[in-house]
A and B are shown apart, each in its own frame.
Chain A
């Protein structure tokens, strides 16, 4: 009996009796002294000589870690990985991070306090402790106070321990067997747990596959895709002609593209360039010319663009006398309608860009045929 017993429980009816028995049990030096009570008893820590709980320090460390984690996470996202200015605040405006820092601090600290106490300090869950299967446990979690002398070595004398507790005033004494710590470590148990985890993973994987594949396609989840709208290139039952996109009303002109020279080039000769000859207009004209015209007509307007050299085309030499004599309107007409091999640029250049190009062509022509008095204009 003594070699298998683990502890001796002595039951007391009042906390006072328990407290008085503790020094006697400790003085017997038969084993470790532990008390089991239905609720915390004031002063029992000192009586049992328990060390202070290290939980406060653990919570402090984890709380600080929580604050730093939250700050680092928010700062990295808001200032480094995804810097977007909101509300006129700088990317690293840390003041806005404080509420979440506080919340994460509390979260870390709480879980450290709760789970740290249960799992780390109290080593729970543990279902094999002999007290749990003792006769006395009903009283311990109800209204009895137990004092235990627990074996610290092989030579634990349970009979002597029982005598000490009885002398200290215990109303009942119970001898407990050694704790059953084995069931958690059997290979069958580990196998069962592993199989359970594997099964759960398979089920969860199949469930996730179905959920992500089919769930978004069910009503009402698919309503976002099913919104009634007209797709430009697709048929639609909404209009009589079955087209999603309708033709514009006859004579519709896009913004910025009025007036369009649609008659003959001769008729367009009377059009007057509406734009003033300002620095900005010339700059806009130059830009449009470089983008749209230069490739054929050349940077100087002499018809020696890069395409000319490559393909042997013969674009108009705008420096020729014929084109220097053209009224503005005829150049404009050519831009809008194209001429010979030249395509229309009506879609590429807006109304004002076309007239700006006309101005710029005039400037190119004058630059190539400069007179002496032009120098006076150019010299400040």
Chain B
């Protein structure tokens, strides 16, 4: 407090970063609040939620089984729309994951300390979202039990993979993304799990946590390497935030389909991914904050800042959409022009306008401080963005494919019940994992939050005054 007072004289009030927690939070109270969840019985709502998500998951599994038995013909995909729900959902889910990596990596490098309270949940969502995403390419290959053919390994067929194909780049990008996210998440968890190990009274839990924490004892010499590793991982993951969705966009941009073959695709995809991911994080955090009584740790300020990120990303998306239209017009290419007109006035024009409304127009409401502070509006915007970003991928994929260069091949795409069932199933999987995570592991990175609490760090002037 002495230090704060000393600073207050020199620095204007408005520039002092307000506290990141509400009320009195000490390292001990933080542990009692956050690490107690795995030790207590979940409330009834949790079981209800799990029942709903598991139902969705099993419906999805049923439809995936149906797909295996009958083949890909169970889906609506057909010439010329060979990519539809499967790739839309893949891009959608990979995108959802990006918020976690952005929060854990880029905001860490920028020393945005507010990220500490939400990083753990966002990182978990990254991992779950990537798990949902990889389901789709796997089942789309038709014979998923042979999906290991995607990897370049010496085989008796004497074949190698094609390293000039963006689809193979995708295999590497998504696998790297998942491995790195998992490593990042686990490293962050180790000190927290050590805390849980030392406070639990259950023998079984103690054994599991002991194994997972690897004997972490908080030695200063360990923290030194740990912090270095965390910094390095943040730097490496930062590259991944930008690269993964860029590589996903190459799947489209390196082809010659009108509406796909554009240089703006990589940045446009990355911005869209962060946009959709933040929306999902807002939805989940609002629920977590309310149901788990974490209001003192995940404050309205956190939500406010995240809403600002959503707003900024919405503006980037607006620019990207305009550039798409501009490119179509300026290229004087009739195919491109036709493709763009399809987005705003074709058979699927409603999807185009839904995308523009949900992603560009509606989020503008977040310019108002009141909207950013209101659960109702932020949830409406976040749900709108989730729907809008899903339909954006629908627009990009289905509208571009259903009318390409050969008018005799044009066809209207209609998804089947199986398509919707599998999509529902991945939502079930995602929220099932989120629910289980919320009760099994620390939902807030307690170690990281402890480090930014008031008086958590030695006062640098202390020695000078007393020397």
Contact = CB atoms under 8 A, between A and B. Distances in A.
Contacts of B222: 122, 124
Contact of B199 (A14, A110, A142): A142
Nearest to A76: B160
A138 B69 CA distance: 54
Contacts of A116: 229
Nearest to A14: B455
A59 interface: yes
B180 A34 contact: no
Interface residues of A, number: 75
Interface string B212-251: 0011111111111111110011001101100100010010
Contacts, number: 218
A125 B215 contact: yes
A316 B329 CA distance: 77
Given A81-B160, A143-B26, A38 B450 contact: yes
Contacts of A138: 198-199
Contacts of A122: 219, 221-222, 225-226
Contacts of B239: 102, 106
B40 to A, nearest CB: 18
Contacts of A42: 457-458
A89 B215 contact: no
Interface string A121-160: 1101111110110000110111100000000000000000
A121 B228 CA distance: 11
A141 B459 contact: no
A185 interface: no
A8 interface: no
Contact of B68 (A50, A132, A220): A220
B49 interface: no
Contacts of B247: 99, 103
A143 B227 CA distance: 19
B191 interface: yes
Q: Chain B interface residue count: which class? A: 35 or more
Given A44-B220, A100-B168, A114-B187, A55 B228 contact: yes
B29 to A, nearest CB: 9
Contact of A117 (B68, B219, B225): B225
Tell me the dominant secondary structure on chain B's binding face: helix
A248 interface: no
Contacts of B232: 55-56, 59, 109, 113
Interface of B: 26-28, 31, 68-69, 71, 143, 145, 152, 159-166, 168-169, 172-173, 175-176, 179-180, 183-184, 186-187, 190-191, 194-195, 197-199, 210-211, 214-229, 232-233, 236-237, 239-240, 243, 247, 250, 447-448, 450-451, 455-460, 462-463
- Nearest first, the 6 A-B pairs at minimum CB distance are A143-B27, A125-B214, A117-B229, A35-B220, A96-B164, A53-B228
Given A77-B161, A78-B163, A86-B162, 14 more contacts: A20-B463, A34-B219, A35-B219, A36-B219, A41-B223, A41-B458, A55-B228, A74-B163, A78-B160, A114-B186, A122-B221, A131-B219, A141-B218, A219-B69
